[in-house]
Amino acid sequence: MAAFALTDEQRSYLRQVREIAAAELVPLAEQGVEGSVNRPLLAAMGSHGLLSRLFGGTGRSAAAMELCLLREALAEVCTDAETALALQALGSYPFLLFGTEGQAARYRDPVAAGTVVASFALSEDEAGSDAAALRLRAEPDGDGWRLTGEKTWISNAPEADVYTVFARTTPDARARGITAFVVAGDSAGLTGEHLDMLAPHALGRLVFDGVRVGPADVVGEVDAGFKVAMRTLDVLRPSVGAFAVGMAQAALDAALSHTTRRQAFGGPLSDQQAVSHLLAEMATRVEASRLLVYAAAAAHDAGAPPAQLTRQAAMAKLFATESAQYVVDTAMQLHGARALQRGHLLERLYRDVRAPRIYEGASEVQRTIIGRSLVQRATQTRQEGSG
């Protein structure tokens, strides 16, 4: 842990985040409508400066380490607040990282204030893990394009105020024919509907019926949108792991509190060897996940090569999300039937912890990324040695 020790300032700030979350954000989250954007929650996060932490000193994206720490702290206390913050980052980072100064300036302050809701519109019904197979068409129309098709599994849809939309500008070109666009949520021809999900977060389907976009709406370069999507995900994947670490830590804390107090078989439940071994396994996975996440974030902030960043981000997301699933499930087992009750902390965590193993690249995709990276590195090393 010494390699990633937090400063006193960081520890103090994260304590403050947890206190704000417990005192103000949890009640607002509980008052929200399941499956819809919670605008009062976002506004409160904006008023406390939590959303502004998404943007670094340049006004672009925050340091990866800071984003990870913030997501972990919020996830320990209020998963709704953590998810709301993460979706603001996911929706806005494409045009903050690759867009024009005009695009960034238009949306940065409202996103930070929580008055504009952002969304990342990449996935389609037949293009989830294989994002390069997307079919939403961007057809030439004068000096711009018309977007026609559908997106699904889109966070904050259909309520978002601004979407980063990835569409096909060159047919049959896979990743080389995709362009990213900034699209206002009230654009003519854009409609949508909510999807009813296991974890009741705002998620929906979008229908584009000739939605007009112009040259000023292009994020980055035409036909280079796949790079925009992948680099955005590289920044955020370690922080998905941080979200998982926060949930796992909350589950571990609950399990420790319960098993040291619960009397069974003549003493605390934690005295049972089977139970203590489970607690040890849970704690080890949480700590290992945290270190992988911090290592990936530190590599990003240090400017490591893209191939290394992609590999480490995939490792962090894979291990942390899979471990969180194990830790939350084990904590439920240790609690018994009480954890199955609607409204129990673990009941909510059990629903929330499942999705991160799928979104922003399923676990199987992360393993493919890691394996491919290892093979490429080994091949390159062998070629350099023989040369």
Task: Report the helix count and the strand count for the chain, using DSSP H and E.
Answer: 11, 10
* Residue 370 CB neighbours (<10 A): 17
Nearest to 2 by CA among 327, 298, 317: 298
Q: Comparing C-alpha atoms, which of 83, 167, 135, 124 is closest to residue 353?
A: 83
Nearest to 353 by CA among 269, 259, 247: 247
Spell 52-75 as b/e; 16+ CB within 10 A means b.
bbbbeeeebbbbbbbbbbbbbbbb
Cβ(69)–Cβ(10) below 8 Å = yes
Residue 212 near residue 187 (C-beta atoms within 8 A) = yes
* Catalytic residue selected from 76, 82, 124, 360: 360
Residue 357, Cβ density class (10 Å: 0-12 exposed, 13-18 middle, ≥19 buried): buried
Is the separation of the CB atoms in 159 and 37 below 8 Å?
yes
Q: Judge whether 360 counts as a catalytic residue.
A: yes
Give the span between the Cα atoms of 245 and 60, in whole angstroms: 25
Residue 113: how many other CB atoms lie within 10 Å: 16
| CA 325 from centre of chain | 16
Q: Which residues are annotated as catalytic?
A: 360
